[in-house]
Amino acid sequence: MRGPLLLLLALLPVHVQAASDPWPGSPVLTRLFVLPSGRADRDRLIRTLDLTVAQVRELERLAGSERAYAQAARTLDRAGAQALNVKLAAMNAEKDRKVRRLLGADYTLFRAWVRAWWQAQVRRAAGR
């Protein structure tokens, strides 16, 4: 399953890939590992990457951090929001570093899976 998915995504034009890649700026882990609506997709990700229990737990922990930052942003004034944006950028970079380290060689497959999943979510939301 890994080969065809990576090949398909590699054929997309670079500008399409960039516009359709939510990682690490969007709360991907929250959608997959926290929200009930993401359960089936989370299970597909776990099967596709053949994640261990320890890897799933770490992704769940990182999803909790994503969610905490998102909840903190809801009650901020403009200055507070700007300060939080700086922290969010750092958190996103750290999240990406941790996921890259956690998944090792499967990180590339994770990124391809997330892009394909995101595109399907966007199409579904647009009613296509």
pLDDT in tens, the chain (128 residues): 444 444 444 444 444 444 579 999 999 999 999 999 999 999 999 999 999 999 999 999 999 988 887 776 666 677 777 887 888 889 899 999 999 999 999 999 999 999 999 999 888 888 86
Q: How far is it between the farthest Cα atoms of the chain?
A: 47
Half-sphere exposure (Cβ direction) of 70: Cα atoms closer than 13 Å: 15
Question: What is the rounded distance in angstroms from the CA atom of residue 68 to the CA atom of residue 127?
Answer: 30
**The pLDDT of residue 18:** 44
